[in-house]
Chain A
């Protein structure tokens, strides 16, 4: 590893934790009263409280999934999780007003710096709620709504009610039910017709406390002919006990709209990351997921797109890095529901030091979806004999005119590639790092430059010790 990279990111550099700040902290464990208390604290409309309660009961009744890494899933102790922790009295619009302890954390994560340089808006969430939120004035003037989810519900209840729970209903799976019951924070964005948000907007999610559950809920609606790029980053400290991150993200791209949702999740290795992300693309709309997964103990995340309108398009690019004690169970789902819809899926994974990476995909063409096209490519690299790579793609084709391709491969780094680079003066570790960066290049080139550079450095750190 180069000194430059070490200086840039350090060892899992977000593993630090600051003293816990809590103005309100619920006791551990989940009950209907906890759900009602969260809703009451936020002074929510009745329909939301009732939805939360229904979701809570569904969560309690629904069994744990009987697929995936059942051993790890069943080891989650839901009674040991804190479901709500408020760190700040409110969401600040001025960075100077954020409590010093929290501000220090985000300063170390580089959020204010990034906002000044290249972002159209920022939400910073600490534990359960947003502590800082801002949006550029010109976007506000164009009618773009960018709130943390709690404020969005307060300020625009009808708009939220129209779309909330429609893309990912609480009955979808056990963890979407949990999120709907106890959600707190997240982002709400509405982009009016024809407005193009040129600069990305970002949300940053930070878990700081031990045994914390973070359940943010994000809803992005891009109205006809509009576009937006949303970037999400996540970190947590390294504790000996586990934390739970169970988010739900709902995207709605109306006719001709485009939403790109980029994620770099760099959780510490004690976080269960069980996320449901899904978008609906109406006629000629595009939904893109650019999804990077580094860290966590267990990630189960399958960004999905429902291509509901004719000519809609889905693009999913994901990378996963599974290191020691980690299982990255990621993938993608695309459902072609309408004619002449298209999709591209590219998945890359690396397993190292006993890590396990799994690709789980679903590509479905419904009978009425004439003339659909899709291509799926999954590549996996195994860096040692202790690791594991699985691929479980499913193709369901119900229309004869569909043209679909899927290809996947698992391999190790080729000896001749290493030899080539080493013969030009690189050490074995450097050569391997270069090859890994090249392997992930189709993903990093889709990221804003600052993110791509950070990801490359993170990978370099992760690759340390991959040799011998």
Chain B
């Protein structure tokens, strides 16, 4: 058990848009998320087994990154619920995608997975099930010179609440990519942190969010450049329909002495209905001078010129809108270099939008 943490007030930045009281798990016996490693190519060295709780820190240490406990209440909670920590070890160069199914069932489902990469790999984590509350803590270490792409998709029940925390550490000359397609669940809070610990490290993040009904989706993405000559790119594309709400916060921190850093982040919001709402908060904290750091945010409705173009070629309004939304969301995965990762995400996106159209 970890030390109890006070509930954060609504003034705490991390919990301002999605109060902790919305995300706190209900009082129920937690069940562990069932994790299954799908059969993989014989050449792939991937093993999934029990992990140690030590792999899931509740406070992330590092230069300028020790955060007050109140920011880590989600991590404390996930540690308290335990969720039988697991560990996925990846070795060698993998061309094939390593698929891991995460099945969440029961009132409260929790899972913690650590991924250690000592080679080149693409991992697809597919979250599904009908859990009322689902908590997931992902941590990982990309070893020096290695490359890891992690794709996260979910088909959780529309009534689920989802709490996700990520802590990734990227070594010297290592590359970490992650793509998330956030379409499941009723209410979601993600707190994703990435640490570039050594020179030459690189992070690329693609995030696509589709809001429907009254879905609430809050993604907080932190990227810490602890050392110089590191790069990062974040693209977050959000399409909100119905009365859904999306919040996207990007916190980009460049530490003292991290010269030669090249960092950028873009948040784009597409509002599809009058009741939808999308907030973008891209933040920069730059403590080194020889850097290139930029961010941008934009919000608009569907461009009438694009609609007109597609409709003049025979599509009806809904088909044309849907095609534009699909192209817009798929563009979020542009930063990912691994074509397998991009393809996996696009396939899932197409299936999701087809289903959404039918229903």
- List A residues at the B interface (Cβ < 8 Å): 66-67, 367, 380, 382-385, 387-412
- List B residues at the A interface (Cβ < 8 Å): 11, 13, 256-257, 259, 269, 271-301
Among B257, B273, B280, B286, the residue within 8 A (CB) of A389 is B286
- Considering the complex, give the chain A residue whose CB is closest to the CB of B257: A385
Could you tell me the distance between the alpha carbons of A391 and B281 in the complex, rounded to whole angstroms?
10
- Considering the complex, give the chain A residue whose CB is closest to the CB of B251: A392
Could you tell me the distance between the alpha carbons of A373 and B321 in the complex, rounded to whole angstroms?
22
Among B273, B278, B283, B294, the residue within 8 A (CB) of A390 is B283
Among A367, A387, A407, A411, the residue within 8 A (CB) of B274 is A367
Q: Is the CB of A409 within 8 A of B293?
A: yes
- Considering the complex, give the chain B residue whose CB is closest to the CB of A401: B301
Q: Tell whether A400 pairs with B272 under 8 Å between CB atoms, given A406-B280, A411-B292.
A: yes
Could you tell me the distance between the alpha carbons of A117 and B204 in the complex, rounded to whole angstroms?
58
- Considering the complex, give the chain A residue whose CB is closest to the CB of B293: A410
Chain A nearest Cβ from B169, distance in angstroms: 24
Residues of B within 8 A of A391 (CB): 282-284, 295
Q: Is the CB of A388 within 8 A of B285?
A: yes
Q: Tell whether A402 pairs with B300 under 8 Å between CB atoms, given A390-B284, A407-B294, A410-B293.
A: yes
Could you tell me the distance between the alpha carbons of A136 and B221 in the complex, rounded to whole angstroms?
57
Residues of B within 8 A of A393 (CB): 281-283, 297
Chain B nearest Cβ from A395, distance in angstroms: 5
Q: List 26 A-B contacts (CB under 8 A).
A: A67-B13, A367-B274, A382-B288, A383-B289, A385-B259, A388-B285, A390-B283, A394-B280, A395-B281, A397-B269, A397-B279, A399-B271, A401-B271, A402-B271, A402-B301, A403-B299, A404-B297, A404-B300, A405-B298, A406-B280, A407-B294, A410-B286, A410-B292, A410-B293, A410-B294, A411-B292
Residues of A within 8 A of B300 (CB): 402-404
Q: Is the CB of B292 within 8 A of A399?
A: no
- Considering the complex, give the chain B residue whose CB is closest to the CB of A405: B298
- Considering the complex, give the chain B residue whose CB is closest to the CB of A395: B280
- Considering the complex, give the chain A residue whose CB is closest to the CB of B295: A408
Q: Is the CB of A406 within 8 A of B271?
A: no
Count the A-B residue pairs with Cβ separation under 8 angstroms: how many? 112
Q: Is the CB of A400 within 8 A of B279?
A: no
Give the interface centre of A382, A384, A394, A400 by most chain B CB atoms within 10 Å. Answer: A400
A-B contacts besides A387-B289, A400-B273, A409-B295, 6 pairs, CB < 8 Å: A67-B11, A382-B288, A383-B289, A385-B256, A390-B283, A397-B277
Residues of B within 8 A of A400 (CB): 271-274, 276, 301
Chain A nearest Cβ from B324, distance in angstroms: 14
Chain B nearest Cβ from A351, distance in angstroms: 8
Q: Is the CB of B277 within 8 A of A396?
A: yes
Could you tell me the distance between the alpha carbons of A195 and B182 in the complex, rounded to whole angstroms?
56
Could you tell me the distance between the alpha carbons of A403 and B300 in the complex, rounded to whole angstroms?
5
Residues of A within 8 A of B259 (CB): 385
- Considering the complex, give the chain B residue whose CB is closest to the CB of A66: B11
Q: Is the CB of A385 within 8 A of B289?
A: yes
Residues of A within 8 A of B276 (CB): 400
Q: Is the CB of B298 within 8 A of A410?
A: no
**Complex A-B, nearest 3 residue pairs according to Cβ-Cβ distance, in ascending order:** A400-B271, A382-B289, A391-B284
Could you tell me the distance between the alpha carbons of A67 and B278 in the complex, rounded to whole angstroms?
23
Q: Is the CB of A394 within 8 A of B281?
A: yes
Residues of A within 8 A of B294 (CB): 407-410
Residues of B within 8 A of A409 (CB): 292-295
Among A380, A383, A404, A410, the residue within 8 A (CB) of B299 is A404
- Considering the complex, give the chain A residue whose CB is closest to the CB of B253: A390
Q: Is the CB of A388 within 8 A of B11?
A: no
Residues of B within 8 A of A396 (CB): 277, 279
- Considering the complex, give the chain B residue whose CB is closest to the CB of A375: B298
Q: Tell whether A412 pairs with B289 under 8 Å between CB atoms, given A395-B280, A395-B297.
A: yes
Chain B nearest Cβ from A373, distance in angstroms: 10
Residues of B within 8 A of A406 (CB): 280, 282, 295-298
- Considering the complex, give the chain A residue whose CB is closest to the CB of B259: A385
- Considering the complex, give the chain A residue whose CB is closest to the CB of B302: A400
Q: Tell whether A399 pairs with B274 under 8 Å between CB atoms, given A391-B283, A406-B282, A410-B291.
A: yes
Could you tell me the distance between the alpha carbons of A421 and B46 in the complex, rounded to whole angstroms?
58
Among B269, B279, B292, the residue within 8 A (CB) of A394 is B279
Residues of A within 8 A of B273 (CB): 400
Could you tell me the distance between the alpha carbons of A172 and B285 in the complex, rounded to whole angstroms?
27
Chain A nearest Cβ from B52, distance in angstroms: 36
Could you tell me the distance between the alpha carbons of A403 and B269 in the complex, rounded to whole angstroms?
10
Q: Is the CB of B284 within 8 A of A408?
A: yes
Could you tell me the distance between the alpha carbons of A81 and B259 in the complex, rounded to whole angstroms?
42
Residues of B within 8 A of A384 (CB): 289
Q: Is the CB of A395 within 8 A of B279?
A: yes
Q: Is the CB of B284 within 8 A of A397?
A: no
Residues of B within 8 A of A397 (CB): 269, 271, 277-280, 299
Q: Is the CB of A390 within 8 A of B297?
A: no
Chain B nearest Cβ from A386, distance in angstroms: 8
Residues of B within 8 A of A412 (CB): 289-291
Q: Is the CB of B298 within 8 A of A411?
A: no
Give the interface centre of B286, B288, B291 by most chain A CB atoms within 10 Å. Answer: B286
Residues of B within 8 A of A67 (CB): 11, 13
Chain A nearest Cβ from B179, distance in angstroms: 23
Residues of A within 8 A of B284 (CB): 389-391, 408, 410
Residues of B within 8 A of A403 (CB): 299-301
Could you tell me the distance between the alpha carbons of A301 and B281 in the complex, rounded to whole angstroms?
19
Residues of A within 8 A of B285 (CB): 388, 390
Residues of A within 8 A of B278 (CB): 397
Chain B nearest Cβ from A413, distance in angstroms: 9
Could you tell me the distance between the alpha carbons of A403 and B302 in the complex, rounded to whole angstroms?
10
Residues of A within 8 A of B13 (CB): 67
Residues of A within 8 A of B292 (CB): 409-411
Residues of A within 8 A of B257 (CB): 385
- Considering the complex, give the chain B residue whose CB is closest to the CB of A407: B296
Could you tell me the distance between the alpha carbons of A397 and B247 in the complex, rounded to whole angstroms?
10
